[in-house]
């Protein structure tokens, strides 16, 4: 893949007409890729294992037939699913009561905010998979657009001053925590982390004399993420599968994590009437969805029905997580030129040097620093 510019996530039009900002976004993304490639080259060189199979499609673009591969995972955090028969999934723990500044414990690149009525019935659930990197960038590039989007998607009451601290844009501002989900908040959920994970997963690994081919072993060996998630091991092993086939590997533009879809087939109300088609894409496109909302049409809401009246296989929706576990997430990898790279597997334990984190709590650092999936 060879591109002339990185485009904003989901091909959003927030910065249309602002050529300088679009260029800066591209530069930022390109920097993420270059940093990853440089780190891999250093690491693989030190190990005598070859050179980076991961490449920056802007500065190192390859003009060759590409194969695009969606990598999919479930949007509900794996750490809360039932660990064994007889133990229920812990939906409540996956969505604690929102509070100002509270990071959501939803670490599969999908976060959601539940709105309830006075009877505690769910009236809507907003889902987002937009990285904070983009929003921090937008806050620097176009504050009015930032405010406009917050007012459009969260509340008309949002003030610009609500979104900033003296040091800059506040990722964990109250409109993105207590009162809504404009974008991702979990420290692991950012585009920098996505790029680094994709890159590090291209390193072939060996253990006990054999090349590592299982995701659990790979993530333990390479430490590029958290093995208790759905996403990290899945992304890691699928990228690594391509690496073992000698491909050059990168991420598709626009770089992002996307909602692949919701399976709401067969959802219904207690009287048997269908309750499907209530999941609306608010930002992005059907193939690259950035933001979506589950809300009943106004005609049904006017009858007093709420999301909590919807039955999934006979179970009423008590938590947004019940919807999230029916959502498939994806990112898209791009590979070309199979069998063109013959890197050697690297022993477990040795890992590329990551940017050092300070002593501050990780959630606070996420506002300002690049945090990877393994650090969060």
Q: Which is nearer to other proteins, 83 or 297 (CB)?
A: 83
CB of 264 to other proteins, least distance (A): 8
As a whole number of angstroms, the distance between CA 232 and CA 226 comes to: 6
**Residue with smaller CB distance to other proteins, 23 or 213:** 213
- Where does residue 13 rank: exposed (0-12), middle (13-18), buried (19+ CB within 10 A)? exposed
| Cβ proximity to other proteins, 16 vs 211, nearer residue | 211
**Interface residues toward other proteins, by CB under 8 A:** 69-70, 72-74, 78, 81-88, 207-208, 210, 213-217, 227-228, 230, 233-234, 237-238, 241, 244-245, 260-261, 263, 265-268, 272, 274, 276, 311-315, 328, 330
Tokens of 339: 């069998």
Find how far residue 31's CA is from the centre of its chain: 19
Q: How far is the CB of 283 from other proteins (least distance, A)?
A: 21
Contacts of 103 (CB under 8 A, 6+ apart): 172, 177, 185, 186, 187, 363, 366
Q: How far is the CB of 210 from other proteins (least distance, A)?
A: 6
**Residue whose CB is less far from other proteins, 141 or 311:** 311
- Min separation Cβ 310 and other proteins, Å: 10
- The residue (of 199 and 275) whose beta carbon lies closer to other proteins is 275
Q: Which is nearer to other proteins, 139 or 334 (CB)?
A: 334
Give the dihedral of Cα atoms 178, 183, 186, 192; nearest 10 deg.
-160
Shortest distance in whole angstroms from residue 254 CB to other proteins? 19
Q: b/e for 254-264, b at 16 or more Cβ within 10 A? A: bbbbbbbbbeb
Nearer to other proteins by C-beta: 215 or 250?
Answer: 215
Q: How far is the CB of 76 from other proteins (least distance, A)?
A: 9
Q: What is the CA radius of gyration of the chain?
A: 21
Least Å from the CB of residue 79 to other proteins? 9
């Amino acid at each position: 893949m060879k591109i002339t510019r990185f485009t904003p996530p989901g091909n959003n039009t927030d910065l249309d007409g602002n050529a300088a900002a679009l260029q800066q976004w591209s530069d930022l993304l390109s920097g993420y890729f270059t940093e990853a490639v440089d780190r891999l080259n250093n690491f693989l060189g030190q190990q005598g294992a070859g050179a980076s199979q991961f490449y920056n499609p802007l500065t190192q673009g390859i003009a060759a037939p590409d194969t695009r591969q969606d990598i999919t995972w479930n949007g509900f955090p794996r750490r809360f699913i039932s660990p064994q028969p007889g133990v229920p999934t812990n939906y409540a723990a996956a969505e604690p009561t929102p509070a100002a500044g509270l990071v959501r414990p939803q670490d599969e690149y999908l976060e959601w905010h539940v709105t309830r009525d006075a009877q505690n019935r769910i009236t809507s659930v907003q889902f987002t998979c937009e990285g904070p990197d983009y929003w921090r960038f937008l806050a620097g590039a176009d504050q009015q657009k930032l405010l406009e989007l917050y007012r459009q998607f969260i509340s008309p009451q949002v003030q610009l001053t609500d979104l900033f601290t003296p040091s800059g844009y506040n990722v964990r501002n109250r409109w993105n925590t207590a009162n809504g989900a404009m974008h991702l908040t979990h420290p692991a959920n950012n585009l920098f982390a996505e790029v680094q994970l994709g890159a590090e997963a291209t390193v072939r690994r060996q253990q006990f004399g054999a090349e590592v081919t299982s995701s659990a072993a790979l993530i333990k060996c390479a430490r590029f993420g958290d093995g208790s998630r759905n996403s990290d091991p899945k992304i890691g092993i699928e990228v690594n599968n391509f690496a073992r086939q000698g491909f050059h590997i990168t991420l598709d533009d626009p770089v992002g994590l996307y909602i692949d879809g919701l399976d709401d087939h067969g959802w219904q109300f207690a009287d048997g009437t269908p309750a499907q088609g209530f999941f609306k894409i608010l930002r992005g496109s059907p193939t690259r969805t950035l933001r979506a909302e589950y809300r009943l049409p106004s005609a049904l809401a006017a009858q007093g029905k709420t999301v909590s009246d919807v039955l999934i296989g006979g179970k009423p929706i008590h938590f947004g997580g019940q919807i999230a576990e029916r959502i498939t997430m994806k990112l898209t990898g791009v590979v070309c030129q199979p069998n063109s790279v013959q890197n050697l597997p690297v022993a477990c334990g040795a890992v590329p040097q990551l940017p050092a984190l300070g002593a501050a709590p990780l959630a606070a650092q996420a506002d300002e620093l690049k945090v990877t999936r393994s650090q969060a």
